[in-house]
Amino acid sequence: MVSPSTVSVSITGTGLFTPAESISNAELAASLSASVERWNGEHADEIAAGTIAPRDLPDEAFIEKASGIASRYVMEKSGVLDPDRMRPHLPLRSEDELGIQAEMSLPAIHEALEQAGRRPSDVDAVIVGCSNLQRAYPAVAIEIQNALGAGGWAFDMNVACSSATFSIQNAVDALRNGTANCVVVVNPEITSGHNNFELRDHHFIFGDACTALVIERTDDAVADRGGSHGRWDVLGTKLATQFSNNIRNDFGFLNGSEDGERDEHELVFRQNGQSVFKEVCPLVVKHITGHLGEVGIEATDVRRFWLHQANLKMNQLIAKGVLGRIPDADEAPVILDQYANTSSAGSVIAFHRHRDDLEAGDLGVICSFGAGYSVGSIIVRRAN
């Protein structure tokens, strides 16, 4: 019997769904400013008496300077920009209608399957990995499996921003163990549903998108051979977690049963951004350097890093720690200027959009990092 660890596995296709609507920093700052100014006006007496502090206004220029983000896509824009609402309008759907996360997953999956030269009926495993799921059950992955007409099994999983790389590891394990033959990993991130658009520290960070990958045993791959997207052999996967409260969202199934009052800001995304920046960067440098060492690859031999897309300076610092110098956009492509932080989808969007120019034999690293803390790296080599 072939040992599972010697079975070669490849990424044979990727897909991306980008929502139709986009919000610029200027639009976002204007809507939050209107909300803050009204709040300060309503509390003018207390502010004048010094019993409460005025709320600070957002600054459009700060956003791009601090993060590298210029705009973000969202599933629904008018609700996010409405100072009376500050969250998307997502019409309630009946049980007979396709759910919104399944709906955004299907185009991304179909694109990935087309690249892989596969039909939906070839799929025998679907893993949904994303930072927030629209319901407890039935699993969104099973709904997608049904809508695709796929066989096998499906499940949902959540490791926040690292959900895609952790899903890829699960797919690779299933293929090596022989429990699946053609796995779809899909990351439907509707971050606008659980971002906090009411606080200037958080309102600009996230955007919506969905990515998909098809992963198969290398010997089974039919896409190719020499197609512009290439077959990408997985040389190694490595995951790590380390507990931290610096990125949290306490929304959950037990909220209704909890005795005691919660601050409503605890039930959406919140973080201590500076601490995350300081603590996660060295963690990721150590992780990638260690993983490359285990696989026997010099960092300088890596042609491209498709890093998690949260903050431009963070990515430059991480790549500098690994390479010894700040990389150019060709070595570590940036998509967060246009997409913002799309949680688990970010590094896969970078891989999807910036890999066709690489040549057979070129090496790359897909790497995610975020809440948990969690870090995941996938080392790949272009095969054709």
Whether residue 207 contacts residue 343, with contact meaning beta carbons closer than 8 Å, is answered with no
Distance CA 73, CA 22 (A): 4
Q: Which is nearer to ligand CO8, 267 or 297 (CB)?
A: 267
Burial degree of 255 (CB within 10 A; 0-12, 13-18, 19+): exposed
- Of 290, 297, 363, 286, the closest CA to residue 331 belongs to 363
Instruction: Assess whether the previous peptide bond of 282 is cis (omega < 30° from 0).
Output: no
Q: Which residue is nearest to ligand CO8 (CB)?
A: 370
- Of the residues 161, 182, 281, 367, only one is catalytic, namely 161
The residues, ordered by sequence, that sit 6+ positions from 50 with a Cβ below 8 Å of its Cβ are none
* Phi, psi dihedrals of residue 216, rounded to the nearest 5°: -140, 165
Q: Which is nearer to ligand CO8, 13 or 88 (CB)?
A: 88
Instruction: List residues binding ligand CO8 (CB under 6 A).
Output: 58-59, 62-63, 66-67, 131, 160-161, 191, 194-195, 200-201, 204, 206, 247, 269, 271, 273-274, 276-277, 310-311, 314, 341, 343, 370-371
Strand partners, 240: 375
Q: Which is nearer to ligand CO8, 148 or 205 (CB)?
A: 205
Q: Active site includes 367?
A: no
Instruction: Assess whether the previous peptide bond of 373 is cis (omega < 30° from 0).
Output: yes
Q: Which is nearer to ligand CO8, 62 or 326 (CB)?
A: 62
Q: Which is nearer to ligand CO8, 10 or 35 (CB)?
A: 35
CB of 213 to ligand CO8, least distance (A): 19
CB of 355 to ligand CO8, least distance (A): 23
Task: Convert 299-318 to b/e letters by CB count within 10 Å (16 or more is b).
Answer: beebbbbbbbbbbbebbbbb
Catalytic residues: 161
